[in-house]
Structure formats: structure tokens, C-alpha cells
Structure 1
Amino acid sequence: MNWQQACELPYYGGNDLGANWTRAQTVFKLWAPTASAVEVQLFATGTDGEPGAAALAVHAMQPAGQGVWSAAVPGDLQGVYYLYALQFPDGHQAVVVDPYARAAGANGQRGMVLDLDAAAPEGWQADARPQIPAHARAVWEVHVADFSADEHSGVPEAWRGTYLGFVPEDTTLDGDGRHPTCLNYLKGLGVSHVQLQPIFDYATVDETKPGGYNWGYDPLNYNVPEGSFSTDPYHGEVRVRECRAMIAALHRAGLGVVMDVVYNHTYHTDSWLERTVPGYWNRRWPDGRITNGSGCGNDLASERPMVRKYLVDSVLYWAREYHIDGFRFDLMALEDVETMNAIRAALDDLPGGREILMYGEPWTGGGTYLEGGARPADKRALGTLSDRIGFFCDDTRDAVKGNVFDAGNAGYVNGAPQAGYDVLHAVGAWRSGAHGFRPRQAMQVVQYVSAHDNYTLWDKLAAVARRPGYDTPDADLLAQNRMAAGICLTCQGLPFLQAGEEFGRTKHGDHNSYQGPLAANRLDWQRAHRPEFAALTAFYRGMLAIRRAFPRLSGAAGEPEPFLLALPGWLIGFVPETEGNDPVGQLAVYYNPEPTRQWVTLPSGTWRRLCDGVHAGAAPFGPLCRDALELEPRSVTVLLAE
């Protein structure tokens, strides 16, 4: 199917695709314009291997216009499982799970009719997104299983590694009552949002067997929560209820929830989507070969009208029915600009929707072919992409700690101070256009030094320093770690942290642990409370407090780039702009990448420290200083004028 043929298929603009339940009947609707016949098959269970498994009925679906097939089945079908069986004019047949399914049985092989109200945890109707000022935003990324799987997490054993691992509010290390873990820990860290690695139903973990692990970038059913994170994968309503309970618990703690979404590809090239309308959903080269810009075998053709609609509908569904506070787009450059802008506009139309975050990776995993003049949503498209769609800045990441694809390559904080040229531009959120892209506002830039991909920050620093002892709280690595965090948390933009970065998280040199084991990926809550790493966490906590207390650091209100101070060598100093000439309340920030102490001249006025490179907090400490100051080795220093 070529671009012209795809565009000639009828477009359906309704919002009722899927299984529309009422107590009196369920109306099934499927967009399948090239099918010659469609029927819906009903089952008692989600798999044939369960007690009571039986095929209940088959109902022919009728053409309803605009490529849609429809069937109204009387009676209360809540909890009934279903599939669509399609026939095509060329004689081939296909059986598919409804692309708009809201629940599913084990391993996502059958959709389930769902009464969403019946799948709500207690108090769900009162759940609301927390109100978080733009300048106070900071994202902490974690995998659901990693969060609470540790046997020392204090979470009840049956809930470890599940959605419910986020629910207890007072967990401590081995239940000692003194060292907070999981949600109890997060409440005091100072981040504003938790970004969850994929929580939609993915293909590579067998939900019926314990111990499976994958990061989840292998989509199966986009609108169904992953069953391996639930306490019961067989009954489709359980995963829905428990996923919502997790989100509600994070909201009660004042934390927003960002959902990592993978709309660029499906796990199977022969996905439910592609089976439903063969040749339509996957992007292809002009010679008919399926493109592989995702590196996973296929790309979804977001530029095609019904693919774009599907992506918009899916995001809106999660925002409405799960109260999601933000969306992180995997390989966002495989989506086209028009689709991304359509998603942004649709979210904006929701109550409070303008506060829902959107950002993504502005790159691909390989070549692709966008049709009809569509433009990829990468850094080169920032002039046409909504300025409230952000992007991960690999330029900041690599400048601070070294290139992620070369284990030994150093950055500004760990042996390559000449990378300070790029750090200078990172301070103002790259709005100078130095690398050929120009954000239109600071908060488009996601400032980070580690995420789930590649080495953890601690492991990267250890690799550059050639220190094999990943579990040793090496003083040099701790200083480099503090400095990397200090830079990200004083640059303008949206700060982003990999979970555990703040306590030297290690995967012992594994740079791609996407298949597990869980033992290598889980957060180590004992490590978090070892004195040297707990001190590192305290530094992060203090820097986050500074950022909240001094909004102008973020640039979220449209502040100009900071005023840079003239300093020798590769030292960097800057003063965030403020109104008026009164120095009282002004900030000055200094970066020293050298392994020795360095003297700097101070702006006029009297100053006290908010951060000295080791300790940080929103309350000034230490003696007054004026004229000049000696900076600690490999440090970030923040001063407040009094």
C-alpha cells in the first residue's frame, strides 16, 4: 500500500472505536476498511488454559460507514474476553486483539470488555493531578519492578516489583523505621515527577511465570496496562485497578506521573494493527520494504491519518482514564511534527491539560521514510514543533560526563575540561543555537546525564577513571557525581535523573540491561543508606531545594540566558538575570572542573554559600565572603547575595 492508496482509505473521526460497555449492551467497533467480513468472538477467559475456559458466542459485525465494522451485543458483558476475526477479498484471514482494547487477559492475547468505573481503586474519583509550578519540575525515571523488588525495600513481599509497590507510604529499610525507601524516600527527595518506563502491555515477559524481566520497549497492546506488574495477570480488571492505585499513591505524595510511551514501533511486524489493515500501519520504503528506524524491525507510519488518530486517541485515553501528568516519547523523531503537535493540542484541550508534560528523544535508531512531505520531530524541527514539546539534550549529557557510546571518553567533570565550551551553552538551555538547533524556550530542553539507556552515571564515571570497584564509594567519583548533578540542576531547562543516580546506582558495568536480570536492575536500598552514598543523596536533595527556592534558575518564566562571568581557564561562572540593580537576593554559580582548588573573583556585594560543592541547601551557610573565593576541586558552588 503506497501513500496515495493509504490516504484514499476512509477516515473515521469518531471517538467510539473499541468495546463500548453499558450494562444493557456492548457495542464493538473496529476500523478495518479493507476487510470483506468481520466477526467478534466472545470467550469466558483470557486464555484457553484457565478453569472455565469456553468460547461463548460469535457475532457477525456489519459495515457502519467510513471503514468501520460494528456489532451491538445485548447483555452485561463486563469481564467477557473477545477477539476479532477478519476476512479479506484475497481470501486470507486474520485474528486480532482489538487495537482499542482497554483490558486483556494473560499475555495480552485476548481483549476484555471493561467497565472502567468497576476497575477503579478506592478514592479514584477524588484523585487529581498535583499542581506543580514549572520552575519546580524535576523528573526521576524508574522501572516499576526496579522500584520495590529489593528484598530490603520494606514493601510487603507480595507487592514487590508491582504497581502496588508504590502504594505503601511509610516503608523503611528492612522495616527499621529509620531509613526511608520507595515512596517514603521519594517524598523527601525533592523531585516533582516520576517517569515510569513503559507500563502498557508489552510482549517479551510471560505474565504467567514469575521472574520475567524486560524494560518494556516492545509494545503489544497500547491501551492496556502491563500484566506482569499486577498481582493477577489473568483477570483484566486487576491490572487496571492496580495501575491506577499506583498513580493515585504518587499523586497523594504530591508527585506527577510521566508515562514512557513507545508509539514508534510495535514488537511484532505482524502486529494487531497491521493485521487489521494490512499494509497500512507500518512505514515502508518506496520498494515496499518495511522501514526499521526503530532498530526493532518496523516503524509506525504516524503521518498516515488513522495512525495519527490512533496515537492521539491513545495518549488522551491514558491522560483521561489514568490521570497521567506527562508523556515521554521514545525515539520521538520517528513521529512526524504534525502528529506531535496534534497530540499537544489535544492534551491542551483537556481540563488542566496545558500542564501535562510532553517531551521525547529527538533521534531515531536508524533510517526511515516519512511520506507526503512529513517532517520528523527532531532537533532540526524545533521551529515548527510546539515550544511546549521538550527534548532530551544529548549535547548536555555528553559534554558533562563524556560520550555515551565510548566508555572511556571523558567530559567536563571527569578529565576533559575543554568540554566547558559546550557546558557554557548548556547553562542557557542551548538557546544560542551553537549546535545548529535553537530551542524557543528553556523548558524545552531536558537536561540530564543519565537515563535507563547506556551506563549509569556512576558506572560511566568509573569507566573513565578505570576504577573497577563499582561498590566502593570512591572520593573522586563522588565529587564528579556531585558536580554532574550540580550542573544539571543549575542549568536552565527541565532536570531529569535516572532513579538511583543520586546514590551512585551501579549495574556493575552493564550498559544495556534491558532483558535483566532483575538483580542487576533493581534499586539497591541498602546502598542508598550507606553513609557515603546517603551524603550524595543529601547533596541532590539540597540542589533540588535550591532550584525550587530560586525559580529563575530554571528559565521557566522566560528569563534570558544567564550573564556569564569572565573567568580564567575552563572555569565557568554565571549570574541568573534579575530585575533591578539591587544585588541582594542575587545568585552566582561557579563550576570548577579542575582537580585542584581555584580562586575566582566575585561580583560586587556580600555573599554566602548555598552550595560549596559538597553540601547544598536553600538556606545560606558558612561565613560571609566578598571580592574573591576559593572553589573546591571538581565542584559546583552556588552563592546568594545578602
Structure 2
Amino acid sequence: MKHKIPVEWMQRYESEAFARETACSGPLGAAYTPEATTFRLWTPLAEAVSVDLYPHGNGGGRPEVHPMERDAQGVWSITLPGDQNGRYYTYTVQIDGKTQETGDPYAVAAGVNGLRSMVLDLDAAAPAGWQDDRRPDIPPQKRVVWEVSVRDFSQDAASGVRPDWRGKFLAFTQPGTTLCGDGTHPTCLNYLQQLGVGYVQIMPMYDFGSVDEAKPLTKQYNWGYDPINFNVPEGSYSTDPYHGEVRIRECRTMIQALHKAGIGVIMDVVYNHTYRHENVLNHVMPGYFFRENEDGSYSDGSGCSNEFASERPMARRYLIDSVLYWAKEYHLDGFRFDLMEIYDVETMNLLRAALDELPGGESILMYGEPWKGGPSVLQQPAANKDALSLLDDRIGVFCDNTRDAIKGHCFYAREAGYVNGRPDMFPEIRAAVTAWCCSDALPEHAPGQIVSYVSAHDNYTLWDKLLLVRTDHPDYNVFDPAVLAENRLAAGIYLTCMGIPFLQAGEEFARTKKGEDNSYASSALLNQLDWKRTAACPGLVEYYRGLIGLRNAFPRLSAPDPDTPRAVRFLPVEAPLVGWVLPAGPERAAWKALCVFYNPLAETRVVSLPEGRWKLLSDGTTSALWQGESTVCTGEFSLPSCSAVIFGLL
């Protein structure tokens, strides 16, 4: 049976009169001071509302009930004197004669499993020195993003993280961890600092519903793309989910530790749908925050049974308020939007402008998936690849064109790409080099709008994909030299493409999920980073590390302006080879120009270098040659099979 709302409600929500009469710009949620707390809830349909106070965040207990009063815009409010810090609350809302107890959509703290909201002095839930925490200055050339789940990062006992912090926020704060405590092979934060990435993208860390916070974490697993409370950190990632202030303090401590290490933090935000139809948004305004079909049933552009109506004024305000809240109160450095095609272009541009108004807000990254999970009824221009020219040029998209050209289609396990059996994809690889700015495949855009990648949490890991193309019966734990070469070539391509490079955590040590392409609810063992693989294939880790450092040494490769791609000169090499040169820009660079060749073939190929003396920076196997004395080349060079070879002009 489909969930539906009355068609007349839907028509009312869509009317200009309703938007005009119910528009609210004042504060919402629980506004705390030591002297009093004011509760405000926007619910114009309600006939009666009360706030119910509890001493505890879990079930049981009789509430202290306080009826609230309505204003002209449909905001119900009450001010309760005295210090309410630490008290839990719900709202009881009566709509169309039906009564529902619910949490607060604007809650910033909650009890176990997020069922009861919490009044909290946010300043008291800050770690020591939080007031001095600042977003690190990360120039474009250091914008390499490493994506990981809080859980996956440290669940492995070999991570060296203390047992009570494994799978928790605090695992990111433990310095000096090594593999099984061997003192030699870095793990976790220690590893990230040595790898050299600029940002860590954290998979959902807001309060989600698929993990029961009251049960041991080791007995359950989920990625968390199922929001309960959009503005509350997930309790299962804290050391104490029962006291709402703990998860906030520990989440901030994680961010603080990454900032201290010079690493930015990007939050994966999922406003495109909720965990279920019965949620805080629907409890206070049934159907308003979600799009409906003509018969009143929910549109399902998310593939998760509902989709967020970002174009409706108060839904748009909610999304923007939430992102700004995380940016201000958690000092976040960026936001990655799940299924961004569900959002309308106007909302995303308004959000970009709102972030820019924050102190240092222009440095906050914004990008997302430019697709959706199913048919949507959205009528306005959607935030997808076709709308790149309509979006602010600092709103980016994941580029599946680059991803699939390099290693094959993400949904078809046996379909090859340029590095693993389809050398005829070389025209797409050439387009990827310039972030598709010189191609008709995408509308006009800036290179900084393109996120170049070959693997993320969705679909097969890069290692698994390469093995599945090569053999029907892969052994995922054998480091086949031919597959390692394909892996290096894939990395050598996207880490030398313009735009923002992005990688799934562990891609650089051949992360495997044993061929599972959708592990969102698989075991923790399958999903966790296997830190022993860093010691098993150190050459691959060092290869990624060297490329990340090389990119940082040549800033023009990451220049966000739309003119830079036109400075790339492609060399007359025999197909399917790709060769190109980019002169250094106005910023200081280690070399006067960069020259790059890609060879996807199983045999060597001889190419002619442009005029000049070229230092060999990466030979396709070792990418850190640029760090010391190495070969200086002129004339011809023999490209190894299946390799990306990089030179710098002296």
C-alpha cells in the first residue's frame, strides 16, 4: 500500500498563497540560555502543540507538558524559564484530529536512537580549545579527497587504535598509530598525514536509523544513508549514545584533530530522503517536505521511497539552515551531496551564496552526485551535469564520464575501460585530462567543478573491478602484477586530470570487498579498512603518495579557472596512447611545464618528447622520482607497458 497525503494538502503546499502566508525567517528549534529556553516549531497545519519535557533520553517516564501558542505564520512557541540544559523533549502535535508525539526537526542534540530531542548548551559540549579551531588553508593543488566511513576507518583491530575507540569518532584523534603497534607501518591519522591528502570525506555521520545505538556496534553495520535527525551526530560513533552531549563533543574532537593535522573535513549530507515515511518532518507537516505524485503518493527520485522537496520555501530553508549549522558549529570544510539531482539548481546556488557569507565560507567545498535514484516529479532545473552552466562555478559534480572511461562501467562487472582492455577509449581519456572543459559532452563549466575519480563507496572497489574484468574467478588477496599495473595507470590518469581528485579509502592499498558491489548493510569485517594490506603492497601506497605530492608541486594542474584547460597541448602520439603538455602558470611550480603520457597497451611504445630537458618524475611504477635526482631525458623515450609516465621541464 502506497503512503499518500490528501491531494488538497498537496495543492495547498504548492500554492503561492500558502508560501506567502506561512513564510518564516525567525529562529526555529530550542534556543537555549541559562536563564530560559524558547521552543519554536513550524507547523501551520497544527490545531494544537505542546512541548513535553523528560529527564532522560530513552523511553519511560511521565512528561512535563507545556502547551504552546501559534503565531500568524504557523510557528508554535513557548519560553520556559530557568536552566533547561540537559533536559530531553518531544512535541505532541495535533493535525486533522490526529495526535503524534515527535522529535524536533531542528534538534541539535538527542538521546539514544534520536527519539527524544535535547536542550543543550552547545558551548559546554565543546572539546578543550574548540574556540581556537580553524579550517586549515588548503590551496587547490592540495585538494585531494579521501572518502571513509567512521566505522570502517578503525574497526580493524590491526589499526592500533585503542579498543574502546575502534569504529568511533575518537579513533581519528589517536596519534602515532601503527599496524598492530609495530611502530613501523602507520595507520589511521598517522597514515593520512603521511599519504598527503587534503581532505577526508566522512560518510554519513548525522543521526541515522539503521543502526540501533542501544546495541553493541560489533553486531550490526550500515553506511547510514537513512537520516533520522539531520542536525545531530550519530550516537553509535560516540562512546556514550545515551547522553546527547557526548556525541557532539566527540564529533567536534574528531574534526579538531584532523584540522590540527592540516586535513579538511567534508561531510556527506543526505537531505534527499529520510529513513522512513514516519519521520520528524512528516510528523510536524505531513507531506510538505517531500514531493508527491498527482495522486498524493510520494515521488521516489531517491529510490528510498521518498524525496526531499527542496523547491518549497520552508524545505529549502531547512536544508540551507542545516548545512549552515554544521558549517558554523562543527567548522566543516566541505559538503558532499548525495543524489544531488534531486535538488533544484536555485536551492544549491542559494546555499553556495549563504556559505560564502560565513567567515572563510568561500573556501568551503560543495559538490555532489549529479544523478538520482529513480524518476522524480521535480519541474525546476535539477542540479545535474546538464545544469553545470547554471550552477555556481564552485559547485562540483562527480564525473562518471571519467570514472567509466578509465576502468569500465560501474554497474557491469565485466565491462572494461581504457586501463583494462578498452584502449579505444582514448578520446574520452583526452577529454578527462581537461576536466571535460574542451568537450561537447558536458555544458560549459569550470575545471574545479569536476570531481575526477575511479572508485567511491558505491559499486565495486577499483581492485575488485579490475580483477572481475580480468578473470571469472578472482583471488582478491593475490597482488597480481598485471592488475597492480592497471591500478597504477588508473591512478596515474585521474590524479593528473584537472579538477578535484577523489578516492575511496583504501583504493591506494588495493581495497577489496570480495566482489560485493553494494556493501551498505554487509558485515563490518567486509567493509572495514584492512590495514594489513598497507604492509602487503607498500609500493602501491607509495605510488599514490608520490602522485599526490607531485600534483601539489605543480599548482596549475588544479587551477579552478576555465581558461587553464585551453592551455593543454595534446601531443601527436599514435593511438591509443595519450600525451599532453601543460605549461606552468603564474603560481610557483617545481617545473616549467608538465608532460604526461598514458600507455594502456601490454607492450612498450616509443614516444618523442617535446623540445627541452625533461626530468623523469614518474616512470609508471615509482611516482616519487621527482623528489630527488633522477634521469634527465631528451629526444625519445620508451614508455613501459600499462603505465602513466610523467616528466617536468627543467
TM-score range, shorter chain: over 0.9
Q: Distance in 2 between matches of 1:204 and 1:218?
A: 7
2:604 corresponds to 1:604:
no
1:528-547 per-residue CA deviation (whole Å, 9 max, x = no partner) reads 111xx111000000000110
Question: In the alignment, residue 205 of structure 1 is paired with which amino acid?
Answer: V
Q: Distance in 1 between matches of 2:319 and 2:602?
A: 49
In structure 1, what is the equivalent of residue 505 of structure 2? 499
SS across alignment from 1:87:
strand
SS across alignment from 1:2:
helix
In structure 2, what is the equivalent of residue 354 of structure 1? 362
CA 1:45–1:584: 2 relative to 1, 3 Å: closer
1:161-193 per-residue CA deviation (whole Å, 9 max, x = no partner) reads 000010011111111211110000000101100
In structure 2, what is the equivalent of residue 425 of structure 1? 431
In structure 1, what is the equivalent of residue 5 of structure 2? none
Q: Distance in 2 between matches of 1:440 and 1:621?
A: 39
After TM superposition, give the deviation of residue 553 of structure 1 in Å: 1.5
Q: Distance in 2 between matches of 1:408 and 1:234?
A: 47
In structure 2, what is the equivalent of residue 574 of structure 1? 580
2:643 corresponds to 1:638:
no
For residues 182-221 of structure 1, the aligned pairs below 5 Å read 182-210=188-216, 211=218, 212-221=220-229
Q: Distance in 2 between matches of 1:579 and 1:175?
A: 44
Q: Distance in 1 between matches of 2:13 and 2:530?
A: 53
SS across alignment from 1:299:
coil
SS across alignment from 1:622:
coil
Match of 2:66 among 39, 49, 59: 59
Instruction: Report if aligned partners of 2:435, 2:565 keep a CA contact under 8 Å in 1.
Output: no
Q: Distance in 1 between matches of 2:401 and 2:559?
A: 18
Q: Distance in 2 between matches of 1:6 and 1:228?
A: 38
SS across alignment from 1:560:
helix
In structure 1, what is the equivalent of residue 37 of structure 2? 26
Q: Distance in 2 between matches of 1:15 and 1:523?
A: 44
Q: Distance in 2 between matches of 1:249 and 1:623?
A: 40
In structure 1, what is the equivalent of residue 382 of structure 2? 376
After TM superposition, give the deviation of residue 383 of structure 1 in Å: 1.7
SS across alignment from 1:268:
coil
1:358-393 per-residue CA deviation (whole Å, 9 max, x = no partner) reads 0000000100111xx421111111121111000000
Q: Distance in 2 between matches of 1:554 and 1:569?
A: 26
SS across alignment from 1:358:
strand
Instruction: Report if aligned partners of 1:17, 1:31 keep a CA contact under 8 Å in 2.
Output: yes
Question: In the alignment, residue 445 of structure 2 is paired with which amino acid?
Answer: R
Q: Distance in 1 between matches of 2:495 and 2:649?
A: 19
> Which ranges of structure 1 fall in alignment gaps of 5 or more residues?
none
1:178-224 per-residue CA deviation (whole Å, 9 max, x = no partner) reads 11100000001011000000000001100011122110100110000
Instruction: Report if aligned partners of 1:608, 1:620 keep a CA contact under 8 Å in 2.
Output: no
Instruction: Report if aligned partners of 1:162, 1:228 keep a CA contact under 8 Å in 2.
Output: yes
CA 1:584–1:254: 2 relative to 1, 3 Å: closer
After TM superposition, give the deviation of residue 579 of structure 1 in Å: 6.0
Instruction: Report if aligned partners of 1:429, 1:439 keep a CA contact under 8 Å in 2.
Output: no
Match of 1:177 among 183, 202, 225: 183
Instruction: Report if aligned partners of 1:430, 1:439 keep a CA contact under 8 Å in 2.
Output: no
Q: Distance in 2 between matches of 1:470 and 1:429?
A: 32
Q: Distance in 2 between matches of 1:575 and 1:447?
A: 19
Question: In the alignment, residue 630 of structure 1 is paired with which amino acid?
Answer: S
Match of 1:332 among 332, 340, 344: 340
Instruction: Report if aligned partners of 2:556, 2:585 keep a CA contact under 8 Å in 1.
Output: no
2:450 corresponds to 1:450:
no
In structure 1, what is the equivalent of residue 52 of structure 2? 41
In structure 2, what is the equivalent of residue 304 of structure 1? 312
Farther off after superposition, 570-579 or 155-164: 570-579
Q: Distance in 2 between matches of 1:376 and 1:441?
A: 18
SS across alignment from 1:95:
strand
In structure 2, what is the equivalent of residue 441 of structure 1? 446
Match of 1:17 among 24, 28, 34: 28
Q: Distance in 1 between matches of 2:123 and 2:23?
A: 27
For residues 549-628 of structure 1, the aligned pairs below 5 Å read 549-558=553-562, 559-561=564-566, 562-578=568-584, 585-617=592-624, 618-619=626-627, 621-628=629-636
Q: Distance in 1 between matches of 2:452 and 2:98?
A: 50
CA 1:468–1:5: 2 relative to 1, 3 Å: closer
2:505 corresponds to 1:464:
no
CA 1:22–1:472: 2 relative to 1, 3 Å: same
Instruction: Report if aligned partners of 2:155, 2:166 keep a CA contact under 8 Å in 1.
Output: yes
Q: Percent identity?
A: 53
> Which ranges of structure 2 fall in alignment gaps of 5 or more residues?
1-8
2:405 corresponds to 1:394:
no
Compute the RMSD of aligned alpha carbons.
1.5
Residue-pair matches, total: 631
After TM superposition, give the deviation of residue 56 of structure 1 in Å: 4.2
1:250-301 per-residue CA deviation (whole Å, 9 max, x = no partner) reads 0000000000000111111222101211121110112222101100000011
SS across alignment from 2:490:
helix
Q: Distance in 1 between matches of 2:249 and 2:591?
A: 51
In structure 2, what is the equivalent of residue 111 of structure 1? 117
Q: Distance in 2 between matches of 1:567 and 1:549?
A: 26
SS across alignment from 2:266:
strand
